[in-house]
Structure 1
Amino acid sequence: MGFQMNKNFLVLSVIATLSIVGCNEAVQNEVLQVNESVQESERLIALHSATQTDIDDIAKNLDVSYQVVTNVPSEKCDKEIANGACFEVELTFKAQQGIDAKDWSIYFSQIAPIQSFESKEFEVKHINGDMHQITLQNSYSGFKKAESKTLLFRAMFWSLSESDPMPNYIVEAPNTKAQVIESTKAVIDTDTGLEILPHVIAFTDKEKQFKRSANDKTQWLNSAGLYKRNDAMFSAADVSDTQVSQTIIPTPKEVIFDSNNAVVDISNGFNLMLGNVKQSDVDAALSRLVLLSVNVGSDKQALPLKLAIESDENKAIGSYQLSVTSTGVIVTGVDGNGVFNGLQSLAALVEVGKGTIPIVEVVDEPHYSFRGMLVDVARNFHSKAFILNLLEQMAAYKLNKLHLHLGDDEGWRLEIPSLPELTDIGSKRCFDTQEQTCLMPQLGAGVDPSSKVNGYYSVADYQEILQAATARHIQVIPSLDMPGHSRSSVKAMTARFNKFQQTEEELKAKQYLLDDFNDTTKYSSVQFYSDNTINVCLESSYDFVIEVMSQVKAMHAEAGQPLTRYHIGADETAGAWVDSPACKAFVANNDKGITDMKELGAYFIERVAGILSDLDIETAGWSDGMEHTRKENMPAIVQANAWDALFWSGHDKVHTLVNRDWQVVVSSPDALYFDFPYEADPKEHGYYWASRHTNTEKVFQFMPDNLPVHAEFWLDREGNPYEADDSKIPMKSGTSFLGVQGQLWSENTRSDDMVEHKVFPRLLALAERAWHFADWAVPYNYEGAKYSQQTRTFTQEKQQARDKQWRLFATTLGHKEFAKLELANIDYRLPTVGAIVKAGKLHANVAFPGLAIEFQEGEGKWQLYQEPIAVKDKVKVRSVSVNGQRRSRTVDVITSKP
């Protein structure tokens, strides 16, 4: 009160004096500055500790913006971290209303750890994983209405995509309920169904923002570049309507169509005769025909559809023959799976809205026995409904393995009834710094434990998934990653320990404990966690594995799909246990043959593989963990998923595992990681550590039987040529791969729609490569060879044959398959449109001929593009789904130079 009176007296006295004697403008300004300074000092004194009302107001009224300033490293980057690579981000905070509270902070997810910052009023630090905290310095002065303040930070590596930043910044203060800042919440674009982050400022600078390094030759794909690429592929397209109608995806081994391209009428549907085939073996395939408006029943007037099983031990599981004649259809399989596949090929001949199919003879068998798709539901949860829809489409295109990634650092997604903490705590992210009720909100999860990014499958849910898979001849291979990537289970079992400690039940508390509380090891996982690894020296860790796997096995058995293979994970274990007393004692004891801490990771995998063998379950795992095991300590049958990038000599790792006589599933990120961007454009969603652009055509181009040959026509992640030397570790003569698998990791994939956008239509190209060995593919050279852009093993003739087949494949998708996906409610990615304005006319094209294109001139209405058309204003373009209900991402059109 005294300060207020003195201040008012001072100001009034000065003003009175000025009014009497007069003064010049400079003196008046000085007086005003004195007044403002006094007001600011008064406001600083008035700052108060944040209340719940303050937190609620800040969440509502603080506008946050995130702008990548540069990816070009400077002298301010830490030379000891990431080889000196770092990027700069400017965070701007603008208050819609004044903020007079102090002692509040902001928690936010930032994938690459922050290493330094510049701000007069804020501090920022890395907490764990991707979690960071912004706190207020002593110099913090509050916000005036409409005032902006900035925080510049530098983080490791690069930020090359507008989808890198995370949503849901959280404001909190002591003794208050944390709230998500409204301006950082994701929104969904109504036209595309895709997620938008309003707080992220769009990229504009190709050199500072878009490039990874000075050596990065990646080209930002604009509308003109896309138009040129599409035009080169399709300008002389040799694809007819008849070819599209006759195309079966995936391509059969042998197919002969009528020489006159005759067709048969199926408008009355089919009269089904099961023969010796069980109804349950084919119900799902018959239901798909019905979905495509083809009636299947017992109408004597309909075209006969005869099914039969004729066993043949010399043919692969799932092989079949399909005969379509003018008098009927016959599907013969070597087993129920084969009949099912034959019916899916019959469905492939169906065109939505058309009442005929081609007359044809098909003899078919799979190229690979393992044709898989991984979906990560651990980082962000994805619904049971999505999984069931995915299974339907996998079966439609003859994929037969669902690798379900159910446990990782950010979430445990499968109910284990005897260990309720796994889902009570491990399946939820909210704001609990002690993590006794939920995990902390990594990956921008927000504060709502009931959010769609949280959740789990109950036993009943999981068994429904298993039964749906069985009906479609798909094996579910569950994965609960360990010993690394295990933070959700580690924290859940710690919470269990604390619960039973409170009731003084010591044995129960320690029964399934996964952490040595006396471990002082300092480590950082690949995802920057310091506490995400199961302690492999505790017997309770193995008791946990036995308990979990026994229950999962029982679930499978009860659902009618026995658990015959389990994926340990076993990847990216990061230097844990070094200072764990339990591990020091374990190594010192030496009764397990372990003499070095570095051997503990392999020991865990070997022991867990033995546990699985005792349960009659085969072992699978990722290559980087499996390669360190001793073959003599592993079971006879081991599956290894090889995920090393080809441009980093990844083929050497793959071939090493094959030469162990292990079953290798090719999972190369260069072409098979569907969480990567489709194109090299910062607006394309996804991570990019191995590829800046993995579109459907690139998946189609993949030759999984010969990994090193891709050096002849693919580039590395910076758009530069590379060499693949296969002379060092060639595969042993006669060896081959078990199969291929596509991967969808979910770190920044938060909705079911976004998963479908990333998986489809790439999944169809995956199916093509998994089922069919292309005649243009280069066979593997068991003598070893070197490949580069100077070698010509992949000849011009083979390239032309590949491109011709791609044109047919792409046109078939646009004219036939997308309509089927839409009937199944699959939100496949609509391609961005290639376009230029040349001589005053708009020219546009699309990667999947058959899809409609729309354009907008200026702020006018969207119009259907049919042929080059004169335009005068700026133009935007987009593609349209077959049913007209969705649009692609809008692209600005580039005007070509005269």
Structure 2
Amino acid sequence: MYCSKLDIKIENKFDEPLAISLVLTNQSDSPISNFSLCFDMPRLLAAESLENVSLLRQEGSHIELIAPSELHLKPGESWSFRIKSHGPALKNIAECPRGAYLRAAGDVFEVPIGGIDMAQPADLNDEKLLLPDGKPGIIPQPNAISEKTGFFTLRNTLTVNAADLALNAREWLAEKLEVQIIEASASDAVLSFVLVDEREISGEAYQLNVDAEKIVIHASTAAGFFYAAVTLAQLLITGERKAQCCEIDDSPRYDYRGQFLDCSRSFHSVETVKSIIEQMAWLKFNHFHWHLTDDEGWRIEIDAYPELTQTGAWRGDTEALKPQFGSGIKRYGGFFTKDQIRDVIEFAEKRSITVVPEIDIPGHARALIKSLPHLLIEQEDASEYVSIQQYNDNVLNPGLSATYEVLENILDEVCELFPSTLIHLGGDEVPSHVWEKSPACKIKQQELGLEDVRDLGRHLFRHLQNYLRNKGKNCGCWEEAIDGHKVDEQALIYTWSSPEKIAQALSGDYPVIACPAQFTYFDMATNNNINETGVLWANPVSLKKVYSFEPTFGLEQNADKIRGTQALVWTEFVKDKTTLDYLNYPRLFALSEVAWTQEKNKDWDNFLPRVSAHTSHLEILGIKGSGKLPE
């Protein structure tokens, strides 16, 4: 067995192309020769610029380098080499080589990463936000609240009279407050859920009246009752079972208030997913955007194609999908069965949350393609491209009839499984030069009378949009779908890159979910210290920056087409719930107020004491975010 370690030195400055020196030291009792070294790093190597090493292959972030043939590394000796990329510098430790292993003598051996020598940025700003003393309160801030004298004190039992539409709210509240519910008449109940006509209180709106001896909630929908219950629970929990008497008349600013979770790059369990949904409910989010497929993993059971979870759900050195983002030699991955997905949907529905599945196509489809190569690969396709994630084989071929058949069969099962009327189809980051040398695409282009082979992307999306429409579903897409008008104006567009894309989508009369990475991508680190958890390609995203986010960016044209916003966590480097929680909280508190509270009612200084109280509650639940509480 070979034992070795890999030391890393970042040579380039932050504004220079990547250049790294690496040293492999043989710590075993035997010499090493005729070997290769594998690790993961999210940059495309410049094969012609490597020194004292050769590139065997690169698949996404997974890199395999060959040592010089004459190298005979004796025990205690070291081998030094340099790698370069035409791409940007690594921003922090998270992006540095990880998941290293040695291939030698017909076997593989893990290689621990030793030291990483990386300078801090010249403009280092890593001051932690120290939260003030906590103050009982509600997040997101209600849009109309007036305090009255006195307090309501919660006892161990609570008499309740509830309309049928309020049953989920009642059950959730009892569990959250840890009280015994006793049914009572409207006149005798301490807490009453009163159903009113939609002409009085519509949609997700509610009214909450707290007196010292009685609480009354008015709403016209299950969601309205649930949000009133959440508000009441927050008052009582942050107030240590006491609630300031008050009158609240509240409704959300935006209809769509979302949380996105990528379960493809890193697999997260049902328990973790439910934890995310529970905190969404606590903050009145109502759409869980579930990213279930990507290049690095297929996570949803599809009966028509068992290969998708037999092959596409797993990564490893001997798997069809190689390790990525440090997932390592061993078999890594997982998927959600249909029963597990139904369980998650039911859990979310009881909290007035819609689960929106994403099947990402035509790019980001490598796990799908590798699972069904006999159907989805055209052997004669000589197109040459490289995606932003360093793949040259991750785009579906719209010239093949099997592509349409496979996607329709998948969507049949997705539509049957998910009650949501919205199905997200991805559509992002399709690289240049795809399909250019595909005979099947050339034939399809001629059949359809298209000017450019890339117009097949529009044809594929319009076909799928109509297919979903015939099933009573609408499609969501990332912002790239508006380029070339790949979908019509019924599609919901998620703008992620810039305010300019929001303006472009609005000018095209598309409904928009405004979620620019600079404000809403919570996989970004909160500061630029190289050791901080998270990545930095969209720069640091601090709590204050999230709170300052204004989805309209002052735009006036079609601003009413902005349907809402969402928080996103991409999980290339988010391997566990601890990391996920650290990145998500308390920034999710800030975005909840962006999504729910009218801009005129937001107040940063008033927000922070409430964040402190809610962070304390999270820690009682075993959830540790990045907010630093006062000593």
* TM-score range relative to shorter protein: over 0.9
CA displacement at 1:471 relative to structure 2: 0.7
Look up the SS of the partner of 1:457 in the other structure.
coil
Structure-2 separation of matches of 1:313 and 1:543:
46
Q: CA shift at 1:375, angstroms?
A: 0.5
The match for 1:578 is 436
Farther-moved stretch of structure 1 (277-286 vs 401-410): 277-286
Counterpart of 1:643 in structure 2 is 496
Q: Any idea what SS the aligned residue of 1:67 has?
A: strand
Match of 1:824 in 2: 621
Are residues 1:810 and 2:608 paired?
Answer: yes
Q: Is the 8 A contact 1:424 1:438 kept in 2?
A: no
- Name the residue aligned to 1:267: 155
**Residue 522 of structure 1: SS of its match in structure 2?**
coil
State how far apart, in whole Å, the 2-side matches of 1:475 and 1:339 are: 16
Paired residues of 1:421 and 1:493 also in contact (CA < 8 A): yes
Aligned partners of 1:314 and 1:352: how far apart in 2? Answer: 30
- The aligned runs of 1:412-811 (5 Å cut-off) are 412-432=298-318, 437-449=319-331, 451=332, 454-494=333-373, 497=374, 513-556=375-418, 562-574=419-431, 575-589=433-447, 592-629=448-485, 634=488, 637-645=490-498, 651-691=499-539, 693-705=540-552, 707=553, 731-732=556-557, 735-775=560-600, 805-811=603-609
**Matching residue's letter, 2:391:** Y
Q: Please identify which structure carries the higher strand content.
A: 2
* Equivalent residues of 2:479, 2:496 under 8 A apart: yes
Match of 2:630 among 839, 844, 851: 851
Matches within 5 A, 1:116-515: 116-117=48-49, 119-120=51-52, 122-144=53-75, 146-155=76-85, 156-173=87-104, 176-181=106-111, 183-184=112-113, 199-203=114-118, 205-206=119-120, 210=121, 219-222=123-126, 244-245=135-136, 247-258=137-148, 260=149, 262-280=150-168, 282-290=170-178, 294-298=179-183, 304-313=190-199, 315-351=201-237, 354-432=240-318, 437-449=319-331, 451=332, 454-494=333-373, 497=374, 513-515=375-377
Q: In the alignment, is the contact (CA less than 8 A) between 2:317 and 2:323 conserved in 1?
A: yes
Alpha-carbon distance in 2 for matches of 1:331, 1:274: 9
Moved more, 399-408 or 306-315: 306-315
Secondary structure of the 2:532 match is coil
Q: Is the 8 A contact 2:395 2:434 kept in 1?
A: yes
Partner of 1:168, secondary structure, is: strand
Contact 2:59 2:322 in 1 (8 A): no
**Alpha-carbon distance change, 617 to 395 in structure 1, aligned in 2, over 3 angstroms:** same
**Matches of 1:142 and 1:416, distance apart in 2:** 48
Q: Which one-letter code corresponds to 2:79 in the other structure?
A: K
For 1:689 and 1:476, locate their aligned partners in 2 and report how far apart those are by CA, in whole Å: 28
1:360-382 residue CA offsets vs partner (Å, 9 max, x unmatched): 10000010000001111111111
Deviations 1:65-90 (A, max 9, x none): 222122267xxxxxxxxxxx412211
Q: 1:626 to 1:515 in 2, by over 3 A?
A: farther
1:303 CA drift (Å) = 7.4
Call closer, same or farther: CA 1:548–1:281 in 2, change over 3 Å: farther
Contact 2:383 2:435 in 1 (8 A): yes
In structure 2, what is the Cα distance between the partners aligned to 1:336 and 1:413?
Answer: 31
Cα distance, 1:609 vs. partner? Answer: 0.8
DSSP 3-state at the match of 2:198: coil
1:567-606 Cα distance to aligned partner (Å, 9 max, x none): 00011111311001101111122xx242211212222211
Name structure 2 gaps, 5 residues minimum: none
Q: Give yes or no for contact 1:627–1:657 (8 Å, CA) kept in 2.
A: no
CA–CA distance in structure 2, aligned partners of residues 484 and 466 of structure 1: 27
TM-score (norm 1): 0.67
Residue 354 of structure 1, CA deviation: 2.3
What is the match of residue 48 of structure 1? none
Asked if the contact 1:637–1:662 (Cα under 8 Å) also holds between the matched residues in 2, the reply is: yes
Tell me the TM-score normalized by structure 2. Answer: 0.94
Q: Residues 430 and 670 from structure 1, CA distance in 2 versus in 1: closer, same or farther, beyond 3 angstroms?
A: same
Q: Which amino acid aligns with 1:517?
A: Q
Measured after TM superposition, the shift of residue 403 of structure 1 is: 0.5
Residues 543-568 of structure 1: per-residue CA shift (max 9 Å, x gap): 11111111112223xxxxx2311000
Corresponding residue SS for 1:765: helix
Detail structure 1 runs of 4+ shifted over 3 Å in the superposition: 116-120, 275-278, 294-303, 313-316, 733-736
Q: Cα distance, 1:267 vs. partner?
A: 3.2
**Contact 1:268–1:303, Cα closer than 8 Å, also in 2:** no
Mapped to 2, the partners of 1:678 and 1:296 lie a distance apart of: 42
Matches within 5 A, 1:81-120: 85-115=16-46, 116-117=48-49, 119-120=51-52
Q: Distance in 2 between matches of 1:302 and 1:753?
A: 45
SS in 1 for 2:414: helix
Matched residue type, 1:610: N
Q: Which amino acid aligns with 1:629?
A: H
Alignment check: 8 A CA contact 2:151 2:242 kept: yes
**Deviation readout 1:190-242 (Å, 9 max, x if unpaired):** xxxxxxxxx35253x34xxx26xxxxxxx20255xx5xx86xxx8xx8x8x7x
Distance 1:754 1:588, change over 3 A: same
Q: Which has the higher contact order (CA 8 A, sep 6+)?
A: 2
Q: Distance in 2 between matches of 1:133 and 1:594?
A: 40
Matched letter for residue 625 of structure 2:
Y
Letter of the aligned partner of 2:566 in structure 1? Q
Maintained 8 Å contact 1:270/1:299: no
Report the secondary structure of 1:444's partner residue: coil
**Match for 1:151: what amino acid?**
F
Cα shift readout 1:241-264 (whole Å, capped 9, x = no counterpart): 7xx22x211011110001x4x212
Displacement after TM superposition at 1:679 (Å): 1.1
Inter-partner Cα distance in structure 1 for 2:213 and 2:506: 48
Measure, in 1, the Cα distance between the counterparts of 2:530 and 2:486. Answer: 43
Partner amino acid for 1:178?
V
Residues in 2 aligned to 1:749 and 1:166: alpha-carbon distance in whole angstroms: 15
Is the partner of 2:293 in helix, strand or coil?
A: strand
Question: Percent of aligned positions with the same letter in both sequences?
Answer: 22
Unaligned runs of 5+ in 1: 1-56, 74-84, 185-198, 212-218, 498-512, 557-561, 646-650, 710-729, 777-801, 832-849, 853-898
Note the C-alpha offset of 1:284: 2.6
Deviations 1:338-359 (A, max 9, x none): 0110000001102358232110
CA contact (8 A) 1:109 1:443 kept: yes
